[in-house]
Structure formats: C-alpha cells, structure tokens
Structure 1
Amino acid sequence: MFKQSAQFKKFALISGLIAASVLASAEDMQYGIAPPEVNAQSYILMDYHSGAVLTAVNADQRQYPASLTKMMTSYVVGQAIKQGKIHNSDMVTIGESAWGRNFPDSSKMFLNLNQQVSVEDLNKGVIIVSGNDASVALAEHVSGTALNFVDTMNRYVQQFGLQNTHFTTPHGLDDPNQYSSARDMAIIGAHIIRDLPDEYKIYAEKDFTFNKIKQPNRNGLLWDKTMNVDGMKTGHTSQAGYNLVASATNPGNMRLISVVMGVPTYKGREVESKKLLQWGFSNFETLKALEANKAVSEQTVYYGDEGRVKLGVLQDSFITVPKGKQTQLKARYELNEKYLEAPLTKGQVVGKVIYQLDDKDVATVNLQVMQDVKEGGVFGNVWDWLVLTVKSLF
C-alpha cells in the first residue's frame, strides 16, 4: 500500500473511474438492482467504456452463434482493409463456392456465378443483409480459402481472450464445432466499435440494394425512435434460435452492448434486447475518471537514473455505477511490490487503483508508469541498496 497524496485522493473521489483498455478486472456487478425478466437462453448487458457487466444469465454458456459469426468475419475484413491488405475498390470474381445457389433457404446477397463485385459491396452484403454467399466470397478474397480465413478468425478469438468461442465457417450456419457465448459476442462487438469505427458505421445502415434486390437490415431496433441503436447483428438458425447483438448510446454518451441468444421468436429478440438496454440506461451511469497521460501520483524509484516516477493511465479510464452513487465512491491504491525498482518501461503496470461503493470493490484499474526509467550508475545503485537494506530492518 502506498500513501495517498491529497491531490490523488481528491481527484479519485471526485471523478471516480476506469478505462476498458487498462482494466485489471471488470467483474459482473452486483448492486441489488433487479434486472428485467428476459426470455432468452443466455444474455448479457455490458458497458462499452468500462467493460462492466450490468446483468447476465448463462453468459458463458456455449451456444450456436448463427449469423452473429459474421461479426468476426466483419472484424477480419475490416482489419484487412485497415492494414491495406485489401481495398474497398477491389473487384472479386464470384466462384462456385460463393454462388448464391449454394445457400438455399438462408440469408444471402444473391451473388451470381462469375459476377464481379467490389469488396465494399460484399462487406455491406455481410453486415447489412447477412449474406452467407458474401461471407464466403470475402473470406476467399482475404485469405485465399475459407479455411485459411477461419484460422484468422480463431487467431483473433485467442487474441481477445475469448474462452467459449470457436469458428468453423465465415457465415455461421450450424456446425457442432462452432460455438460462442453472450459474453464473448459482447467483447467481439466492443472490438469492432473500438478498433474499426469505419467498419462499425456500416452496421447502422438500414438497407442494401444489390442486383436490383433491396433488402432491409434485420436489426429492427435501428428503426426504434425511442432509443439510439446504431448496430449490431442478428442471427438465426433452427438450432440457435433467434440471436441479437445490439449497441446503443444515450445523450450522456454512455454506450451499452446487449446480447441475447436462443430467443424463441423473431420479434422477441428485439423486445428482450430493448428491455436490457432501457433498464441499463435507466439505472446506471458511466463516468470518466482518470485522464490519459495525466499523472495522479509520483513515487520513489530505486536503482534508476531517475529518483522519481509518475504513475497514471495511458488511456482514459471509466467506471459504471448506479445513478446517484457517484459521490459515494471511494478508492484505495496498491503497488504490486513494496518498492519500485528500475528498469521501468512506459506503460508497465506497477499497481492498481481499487474503487469501492458501499464497502464493496466494484472496479479495478491498472496503475501504469508514465515514462521509461533506466538503470542507474554503480554508485547510485550502491546507495539505493544501502537505503533499502536499512528500510528492511524496520
């Protein structure tokens, strides 16, 4: 435990909070606020900025993802565009495997054999109209084969730390070895919003016309004028039931991500998602606290070329709390080790700030080093060794 400076204490108590990218933990919140009754096999409501889970049931239960799979397909495609590996203007020749006739009685873009289609249109075909044919065409364009593309999808699964997700196709048609969970889908959604803002804009488009066929976005909440839903994705198969990942914001710039899986009816997935989102906005608020690159504490460093180091966060931090509870937040601070010793690297996690509400820990943010500290010279190190040796005696 290190001593709280008056400035740090005042700053933490007034502002409160945590950034998703530097979260040490974002455990499911337990505030005694009764959640709505949700008719789904599994569901979750997550705050985008803080990562806090406001309510969940069976959130880690493995389910058939159906076309929610296309969110990861979209992520892989969006990253390939962002990295310059492919371009929206690329023209893709539709082969046998991506021909619309291969996907009877399922959602498709209605691609024709040997047709030339741009990456931009195919990407809209995946996101807006959930085209199974478009998913295969893009997979082959990005990775050569659909199998190689799926390998990339699963590499991102590992990178995101998803525990209950595995993909075998780019489109999501049922496969015993293909599964995901409500929690994992919420995390995938957050990555799309955060990492690929241009890609995410497509999720808000309400319809798409191709080959003179106009199809609506199946996410009916985009038309709901009582909420500001701007994404994300639907899914349905006979085994999966009806799935929906939805994201919405409120006037205070709070963003929530809801996931419902295994809902029994088409309209029901919208009804249940709306229940979750409205409940979240009515009962919680997300507050910005620790500001990126603004030091909140300064600590002694031993064996370094500098005697002091500033601590803070490299990205803005947030916390989600029940409405009206902001002034009741408390914080305590801990270092991982009793003394800081060089070398230290900018961004290195050396401790944590733990936020409390009603004597319960509700959020934790990693405390990071704000600048590099190299090892000091021999004489300085000897002196620091003597100092630490004396301190260890008391």
Structure 2
Amino acid sequence: MKRLVLSILSGVICVSASNAWAVAPIDFQVVPPSIDAASFVLMDYATGDVLASGNPDERRNPASLTKLMTGYVIDRALDQHKITMDDVVTVPQEAWVAGNKVLAGSSLMFLKPGDRVTVRNLIQGIIIDSGNDACVAMADYVAGSQDAFVGIMNQYVQKLGLTNSHFETVHGLDAPGQFTTSYDLAKLSRAIIGGEPEEYHMYDEKSLTYDNITQQNRNGLLWDKSLNVDGLKTGHTETAGFNIIASATEGNRRLIAVVMGGKSSKGREEQARKLLTWGFREFTSMQVFKAGQSVSTEKVWFGDKPQIKVGSLSDVYLNIPQADSEKVKAQYVLNNQQIDAPLTKGQDVGTINIVDNGKIVKTVPLVALEDLPKGGIVSRAIDYIKLKI
C-alpha cells in the first residue's frame, strides 16, 4: 500500500491508496449551544459545512433579510455592466412613503419623489438603513418594475440552489407566499460574501447620513468587541420575529450565523454571538490539499508517459472539532485498478475519502492533474504485452 504524508496547517494527514473503502458517515459528538430561536444555522464560509443547526429547513418569513437577495440582484446588474455605482436614479412616486401606503411605518431611507440619488447611495440605504423605499427605487431602475425585479430574484433563487425560498416583494414586508429558510439564507450569504467584494464592505458600515438624517446600522454586533463581525443584516416583522445574519472572521476563518424567529432585537444578537463564539472555539479549519497538489503518482498504460500525477484541482478545507485535528487521515480509491491513456486534466480517476477514526468526514474527486495523450504504436504494443504476461 502506498503512503504519502502531507504537512498541513493544523497537523499531518496521511494519504494512502486502497482498492476498497467502506465506513459510516461521521457524526461529530460536539454539543452546540442552546439557541433560543425558531430556526438557526452556523455555516463555515470556506467549505459551506454546517457546524450547527436547528430547524434549518423550516420555511419562515424572511422580513428584511429579503434585502440580501435584493442586493445580490443589484450586484449582478453591476457585474453585467447594466448599471454603475455612479448612475443617478430619479426616485419614483412608488418609493415615497406618502405615495405608497405599503411602506407606512416601515424602515426607510426617507426618499422623496424626484430626488436624484446615486446607485451607490441607494445600495447603502438598502443595507445600512434597511430602506424599503430604496429597494423600490432600485427595483424600478434595474428591472422597470417591482414585479419584474421579483421575477429576477426568483431566477437567482433557482441558480443558487435555494430550494426552500420564494420571494414576493423587493423589501421583505409580509406577503403571502414569501418564505425562506435559515439554511438557504446561509447559502445566499456565502454567495454575497464571495461574489460582491465592492458591495460587501457596505455591510460593515455603521451609519448613513442622507438628506441630513443619520441612521445607525441595525446590526448591533458590528460594535461587539469580542468578535470581528462585518455583516450582514437584520430583519423584523410581527410574523417573522427577530431575524439576523452575522458573519465574523478569526484569523483566516469566516463563519456565518443565521438566526430566525428570535424573541427580541438584543436576543437575536445574543443567539448569533453564541453560535459564532462556539464555532470559533470548538472547531478548527484545516487545509487538507492545495489546488493542483499531487496526492500520488499513478501508473498509466498505453500513454506517452508511464505515470501521471493525481490530486485535486481545487483547495480542499475541512472543519473538525479541535480535539480531532490530529486524528484525520485520507485514503483514495481509484475508479479502476488500471488507468489507461488518453487522460485529460481534471478527468475523474477516483475518490479521496478524508476520514477521522475510520469514519468518512468528506469526499473529494481524485482527478488527473495533467493531460496525458496516447503513446505511439510501439509503446502501446509493449504495454499490451506486459499486461498479457
């Protein structure tokens, strides 16, 4: 059996080859904190692993967490050069609280019809002020109407694989048929953090002044000195309860906490704080393999070279309890005992099973790290004879 030892960030992982592997999925015996909320998820940003959850797939009213999808759609329009941050938007009548009774009593940027406001400022109004009027103004500007914008929101629901989400409004005020889950919102938050570098920093801004009115960001965890929280959003309606999504970093790690159906504004912050603190304390993130790192060199038949390097074309991270960080090993299994040319870079040749105490933690495709074409007639004939002997 071949064995390769790799140095990684938090210990040593042994990689060995085998023709058979059968173990049960791992169930880490780490008790999460007690969370006083209807639904919650703690997700690792780098891997998408769920470290803790309670009713993660329960469909709930998102309230202003809807604005995460509103912002995501706007950012896609920016990426596609349909709009720019410096575009000036003329505020429509529908974005004025006196002209749209749906907005009465809700969070606002306090826009007035005819105001000329940049896209940048309106995005800040959506994120920092949680301005429902700013959502209406941007929806009209990007898509021509709120209904058309909502249609785009739900298209991205499908593209992002948010299987338990559907939006009916651009701002999140209560509407029949509108729902999402804490798990879907964690996935959406991960997409926002990774895909909106120009916009994401706005989630960390503590206040916004518009038309001589200064409003504070409702995410109180931005002021928390025990955590490095830099986003994302809060939300509240009578039917939704108190919702929050908070993301924090510690060293090279980032966690995302989603709490839905909390009991109060301070209560939702406390539950998110408990999740983030627990996650950073109890789990460690290990870089198991680097993109393009060779796990092994395998024999190849009928090729213009006798061997090929195999591994993963992407970085592979693993989140495990601190106590298990030195127990992790990896074993790979080839799809076939014999590897024949031709092979293309990225071609699947097997599976890497990352295990802890004999139980699978994660599986990763084992792929060819280079192209390997067929050999000439003579070399192929020699390989054929070798296999027959």
Bigger mean CA offset, 125-134 vs 342-351: 342-351
User: Aligned equivalents of 1:366 and 1:357: distance in 2?
Assistant: 18
User: Aligned equivalents of 2:265 and 2:364: distance in 1?
Assistant: 39
- Aligned-pair distance for 1:31? 2.0
Secondary structure at the counterpart of residue 175 of structure 2 = coil
Query: CA, structure 1 residues 116+290, in 2 after alignment: closer, same or farther (shift >3 Å)?
Result: same
Preserved CA contact (<8 Å) 1:65 1:179 = yes
Please identify the structure whose Cα radius of gyration is greater: 2
Bigger mean CA offset, 311-320 vs 210-219: 311-320
Bigger mean CA offset, 146-155 vs 283-292: 146-155
Give the equivalent residue in structure 2 for 1:135. 135
Secondary structure at the counterpart of residue 129 of structure 2 = coil
Matched, 1:81 2:81: no
Secondary structure at the counterpart of residue 292 of structure 1 = coil
Deviation per CA, 1:63-115, whole angstroms, max 9, x where unpaired? 11111111111112122223322110001111123223321111121111121
Give the equivalent residue in structure 1 for 2:195. 195
Preserved CA contact (<8 Å) 1:16 1:290 = no
Query: CA, structure 1 residues 340+234, in 2 after alignment: closer, same or farther (shift >3 Å)?
Result: farther
Preserved CA contact (<8 Å) 1:89 1:118 = yes
Choose between structure 1 and 2: higher strand proportion: 2
Bigger mean CA offset, 98-107 vs 368-377: 368-377
Preserved CA contact (<8 Å) 1:50 1:286 = no
Task: Specify every segment of 5 or more residues in structure 1 that has no aligned partner in the other structure, as ranges.
Answer: 18-27
Query: What TM-score do you get using the length of structure 1 for normalisation?
Result: 0.87
Give the equivalent residue in structure 1 for 2:269. 270
Q: Which amino acid aligns with 1:293?
A: G
Identity of aligned residues (%): 45
Q: Which amino acid aligns with 1:97?
A: E
Query: CA, structure 1 residues 376+97, in 2 after alignment: closer, same or farther (shift >3 Å)?
Result: farther
Deviation per CA, 1:212-250, whole angstroms, max 9, x where unpaired? 111111110000111111111111111111111101112
User: Aligned equivalents of 1:94 and 1:182: distance in 2?
Assistant: 33
Query: CA, structure 1 residues 272+383, in 2 after alignment: closer, same or farther (shift >3 Å)?
Result: same
Give the equivalent residue in structure 2 for 1:54. 51
Query: CA, structure 1 residues 318+91, in 2 after alignment: closer, same or farther (shift >3 Å)?
Result: same
Query: CA, structure 1 residues 327+92, in 2 after alignment: closer, same or farther (shift >3 Å)?
Result: same
User: Aligned equivalents of 1:233 and 1:383: distance in 2?
Assistant: 65
User: Aligned equivalents of 2:296 and 2:282: distance in 1?
Assistant: 33
Preserved CA contact (<8 Å) 2:129 2:208 = yes
Give the equivalent residue in structure 1 for 2:116. 116
User: Aligned equivalents of 2:375 and 2:97: distance in 1?
Assistant: 66
Task: Specify every segment of 5 or more residues in structure 2 that has no aligned partner in the other structure, as ranges.
Answer: 15-24
User: Aligned equivalents of 2:222 and 2:55: distance in 1?
Assistant: 26
**Count of residue pairs the alignment pairs up:** 376
Query: CA, structure 1 residues 16+273, in 2 after alignment: closer, same or farther (shift >3 Å)?
Result: farther
Preserved CA contact (<8 Å) 1:193 1:200 = yes
Q: Which amino acid aligns with 2:59?
A: R
Secondary structure at the counterpart of residue 327 of structure 1 = coil
Preserved CA contact (<8 Å) 2:26 2:360 = no
